[in-house]
Each structure stands twice: as C-alpha cells, then as structure tokens.
Chains A and B, each alone.
Chain A
C-alpha cells in the first residue's frame, strides 16, 4: 500500500503567521491527494481535494499544491480555530491511506 508521510509531526506557529505542512507519498500518485482538518472529538472535515482545489465553504487562507510524490498544505494568517490536527490522504490506489497527521500548535 502507499505510505503517506507527513512532516513535521508538530508545527509551532503564532496566530497570524503562515503554516506549511508537508506530505510525501511512497510512490507517484499524480494529484490524487486530499487534506482534512480534525478538531478534538470531532470528525475530519474536508479542506482540499485534487491536491489544490478547496472544498465548498473552505476559506481562501487554506491552499494546497504539489503532484507526484510531494504535497503541501499552506495556511496563511493562522487563526485560533486552525490550531488542530491535519491529515493528508491519497486516493490513487486502494486502500486509500492517510498520513499520520501534523499537529499545528501555538
């Protein structure tokens, strides 16, 4: 199965700053990547699909990029609500697999 490796495991940033989260696939997956946000005790929420397309209702401060094996989620001007967990997911080859997550903290 395809292994998705996220880095860093924890990212310390200040409110208003930019956060850059990375995700690497163990083999090329074109742009078949989604990003999710998960707050404690809640279900994941879709942020990005197709590596760079924002889901409905997602603010423009969230953006995704990359293709092949290297992907990035960028959050500009971090707000208090953004300090939580983020996961990448590949849907190129079954089984779909997630990264282990990046925690964005103050």
Chain B
C-alpha cells in the first residue's frame, strides 16, 4: 500500500508571504496522480492542485504551485502571496492509475496565516 508522509504539523506564514508544505510518498508504481486538498474548519475538502506523474512540468494554479520530484518521490506545495483565506489544513494525496481508485492521504499540515 502506498504511504504519504507530511512531516510539518503546523506552518505559520505572514500575510502576502510564501509558504512551502512538504510531502513525500512511497510507491513502486510508475504512473499515478498526486493531489493537494485544502480542508477549512467547515470540513469540506477542496481540491487545490493536481499533478500527473507522467508530466514533467510542475502544475500551477494561480498562487499555488508544486515542485514534483519523481525520483525523490517528493511533492511540495508552494502558496505565494498568502491570504487570510488560505488558513486551513492541507492534505497531500496519492492515487494509483492502475485501477485502484482510492486516495491515500497524509496526516495534513495546518497553515496559519498571520495578518
């Protein structure tokens, strides 16, 4: 089974600054998908960004970008120009492309934005 590790339980960032969340995963597969989800206090998981493993180019969505290092099995999320609304739990998730559709999540990173 794939495991996803997020090792920084809480990260603080000043408003308008940049914060990077780290994620590593363990897999023997060559093709898979990686996701970052945001979970605010409302509990609803919201997709932030996704990356296909076969793509070398790092995904970007507005202020959110990833650094995908396939050989190192690393998938970090960078939040630029942090806003108060970015405060939430962020979860890294892995999904196989070989018929197993479950998402495997890490334990999450709490992001605190300081005004």
Q: Are A and B interaction partners?
A: no
Show the binding face of B for A, using Cβ within 8 Å.
none
Show the binding face of A for B, using Cβ within 8 Å.
none
